[in-house]
Amino acid sequence: MSRARCHALFLAAVSPRGATTRVAVRRGLSAWPVLQEPDMEYQDAVRTLNTLQTNANYLEMVKRKRGDPQTQLEAMKLYLARSGLQVEDLDQLNIIHITGTKGKGSTCAFTERILRSYGLKTGFFSSPHLVQVRERIRINGQPISSELFTKHFWRLYHRLEETKDDSSCVSMPGYFRFLTLMAFHVFLQEKVDLAVLEVGIGGAYDCTNIIRKPVVCGITSLGIDHTGLLGDTMEKIAWQKGGIFKSGVPAFTVLQPDEPLAVLRDRAQQISCPLYLCPPLQALEEGGPPLTLGLEGEHQRSNAALALQVARCWLQQKGYQDAGELKASRPSLPGQLPLAPVFQPTPRMQQGLRHTEWPGRTQLLRRGPLTWYLDGAHTTSSMQACVRWFRQALHRCERPDSGSEVRVLLFNSTGDRDSAALLKLLQPCQFDYAIFCPNLAEMASTDNADQQNFTVTLDQVLLRCLAHQQHWSRLHEEQVSPDPWSTPGQEQDGPASLLLAPHPPHTHSASSLVFSCISHALQWITQGRDPLFQPPSPPRGLLAHPVADSGATVLQEAAAIHVLVTGSLHLVGGVLKLLEPSLSQ
């Protein structure tokens, strides 16, 4: 490892070859200090909500002794009844239910914004949050206020406390279940015209799947993720995702590999669910102007195509006339799914697509000499899309007239994800520095309750960062595999080229560092040059390693610094919390 010049900067040292690690930090995230914030009532509610997170040790035990998932779904219905609602009450929310492996949040965002363009009052439930937990429950695209969150939280919490059964050892639902119940109550209380629900994990046994009559369902692109819960093949995962299908309720999906698509088709046929395959966005653009999307990246076109079909179906089901004029239909091939209609998107649909915002996904922030590229990609397929977007964005950006350019990767990965595979996809981006840190915004007491995480200990996440660093070092030492992103025979200036803009090699290339928190990582990366991120002086010893010291000089003198933040939406959220303080207001 020493050949790759890797260093860990988190109140501890790594032996030169990484053989021994001494982590001199508090054990367990539950030891975080209590906050002193002006909105104490909201923070108290969030801290109480955080007690519903599953303890790390208990979580491991549950994984080893997993019970019948159908029983868990029935338990969710009992929680709903204890909260004062019946499943039938949810019918009036006119729900759009979306699942998938990648792009489901973006598809939900497109869908919600399209329907809001029609003057409808929208509810939107999503996960995870980036900065504040109230982002998960939105009305008309905006997170509910701290006051509304606090009111509904305590109302639901006390209701569940009052109705607990003394014979039961579990009186409260877990974190995600509680927020799902709370979203239902908020949307009903606020009298939304429709609610867009993003599935948490999977579909069949996800707690959002207690709904019985959504208006329409959608399944985004499938891939391998959450294998411990959903299965280790695309077919098993497709079976889980298809569990949101309901008899007689229209459903749409995008183009998938043949095997998982066949599973979705069979799942739909078994319960008489009409399932349609979305034509590509290009088919809807024919004969009209190209559609402008508010979210960057070529992969967003697939999400937008699904969102248009889902939104149009909802409008039709609810009797709206202005839902897009049909074009000439394309026949489906025998044995394949019927194609969804090809139609001309209405001006309001076009407006919705154009104005869609979804922070932390293919997001750019330009701040002085720094350009931040933020994308929460955390599967191999979504990372491939992220790398395409990043490299195309680099190719488009203006080169400085003089001075050097520096590329920095800020990465973390959690859960059972294959971080080595993700890092291998990132290697051809020619980063000068790879920085690894946990999804912990700050070590100091200024951190807030919104980003507390009891499901892992601090030791665990720091050791995981060291493992990422070791994977990166091995990849650098190999340096024998060809660039999987370059296409033989293509001209560099061709429209399909993903080749990077010219990037002269530096003598310090392939250096990597580990920091104890996001704030320390950003302090080193920015070197005080981000006009909005101006933290206190860095802690003593932050530049104690040769790589950090020499890299600081390079960063201070660079004409342009390009920083890709990826691997985890929680990491992206922590970065946004520090770079955009207004998001914490």
For residue range 520-568, list pLDDT tens digits in order. 999 999 999 999 998 877 666 666 678 888 999 999 999 999 999 999 9
Q: Cα–Cα distance between 91 and 68 in angstroms, integer?
A: 26
pTM of the model: 0.85
Q: According to the model, what pLDDT value does residue 57 have?
A: 52
Q: What strand order describes the sheet that includes 6-9?
A: 6-9, 511-515, 433-436, 405-411, 560-566, 370-374, 363-367
**Residue 217, strand partner residues:** 97, 251
Query: What are 396's two structure tokens?
Result: 């488009």
The residue ranking higher by pLDDT, 484 or 221, is 221
Q: Interior CA angle at 229 toward 301 and 570, to 5°? A: 55
**382 has binding-site annotation:** no
Query: How much of the chain, in percent, has pLDDT values that exceed 70?
Result: 79
**SS3 state of residue 46:** helix
Query: What are 326's two structure tokens?
Result: 């049909």
Q: According to the model, what pLDDT value does residue 517 have?
A: 93
Instruction: State the CB neighbour count (10 A cutoff) for residue 183.
Output: 23
pLDDT tens across 19-68, in order?
333 233 332 333 333 433 436 799 999 999 999 986 555 445 555 555 67
Q: What strand order describes the sheet that includes 216-219?
A: 142-143, 137-139, 122-125, 194-198, 95-99, 216-219, 251-253, 275-277
Kindly list the distances between the CA atom of residue 225 and the CA atoms of 301, 381, 416, in Å, as whole numbers in the listed order: 22, 10, 8
Cβ distance 301 to 261 under 8 Å? Answer: no
Show me where the domains of the chain are located.
42-52+69-355, 363-479+506-584
- Asked which of 115-119, 325-329, 382-386 is least confident by mean pLDDT, the reply is 325-329
pLDDT tens across 131-144, in order?
999 999 999 999 99
CA atoms within 13 A on the CB side of 366: 5
Q: Cα–Cα distance between 140 and 124 in angstroms, integer?
A: 8
Task: Please identify which residue in the block is written with the tokens 């025979």.
Answer: 489
Give phi and psi for 549, each to the nearest 5.
-70, -50
pLDDT for 494 beyond 50:
no
Instruction: For residues 78-101, give the mean pLDDT.
Output: 97
Mean pLDDT computed over every residue of the chain: 84
**580 has binding-site annotation:** no
Task: Please identify which residue in the block is written with the tokens 């035990």.
Answer: 61
Instruction: For residues 320-347, give the mean pLDDT.
Output: 83
Give phi and psi for 198, each to the nearest 5.
-95, 125
**Residue 218, strand partner residues:** 98, 252
pLDDT for 497 beyond 50:
no
pLDDT tens across 255-274, in order?
999 999 999 999 999 999 99
Instruction: State the CB neighbour count (10 A cutoff) for residue 158.
Output: 10
**497 has binding-site annotation:** no
Chain-centroid distance of CA 31 in Å reads 26
The residue ranking higher by pLDDT, 412 or 53, is 412
Query: What are 314's two structure tokens?
Result: 């909802």
**361 has binding-site annotation:** yes
Task: Please identify which residue in the block is written with the tokens 């390079």.
Answer: 554
Instruction: For residues 81-94, give the mean pLDDT.
Output: 97
Q: According to the model, what pLDDT value does residue 310 have?
A: 98
Strands, E assignment, 340-455: 343-344, 363-367, 370-374, 405-411, 433-436
Q: According to the model, what pLDDT value does residue 268 have?
A: 97
One fold for both 42-52+69-355 and 363-479+506-584?
no
Task: Please identify which residue in the block is written with the tokens 């491939």.
Answer: 384
Instruction: For residues 239-251, give the mean pLDDT.
Output: 97
* DSSP label at residue 450: G
End-to-end CA distance of the chain: 43
Instruction: For residues 177-186, give the mean pLDDT.
Output: 98
Name residues whose C-beta falls within 8 Å of residue 385's C-beta, 6 or more positions apart in sequence.
Answer: 102, 297, 298, 299, 377
Amino acid at 235: E
Q: According to the model, what pLDDT value does residue 538 have?
A: 64
pLDDT for 247 beyond 50:
yes
Amino acid at 390: F
Domain 42-52+69-355, classified CATH 3.30.420.10, yes or no: no
- Asked which of 463-467, 470-474, 509-513 is least confident by mean pLDDT, the reply is 509-513
Q: Cα–Cα distance between 233 and 526 in angstroms, integer?
A: 41
- Indicate the pairing of strand 511-515 with strand 433-436: parallel
**259 has binding-site annotation:** no
Q: Cα–Cα distance between 357 and 488 in angstroms, integer?
A: 36
The length of the chain, given as a count of residues: 585
Confidence of residue 399 (pLDDT cuts 50, 70, 90): confident
What is the residue-wise DSSP string for 453-508?
A: --SS-HHHHHHHHHHHHHHHHHHHHH--S--TT--TT--TTSTT--PPPP----TT
Q: According to the model, what pLDDT value does residue 490 have?
A: 40
Q: According to the model, what pLDDT value does residue 453 have?
A: 73
As to burial, measured by CB atoms within 10 angstroms (0-12 exposed, 13-18 middle, 19+ buried), residue 28 is: middle
Q: Cα–Cα distance between 295 and 287 in angstroms, integer?
A: 23
Closest alpha carbon to 85 in 159, 164, 193, 10: 159
Among left, alpha and beta (phi > 0; psi -120 to 50; other), residue 486 is beta
**SS3 state of residue 538:** coil
Name residues whose C-beta falls within 8 Å of residue 84's C-beta, 6 or more positions apart in sequence.
Answer: 159
Instruction: For residues 216-229, give the mean pLDDT.
Output: 82
Instruction: For residues 310-335, give the mean pLDDT.
Output: 83
Q: Which CATH architecture has domain 363-479+506-584?
A: Alpha-Beta Complex (3.90)
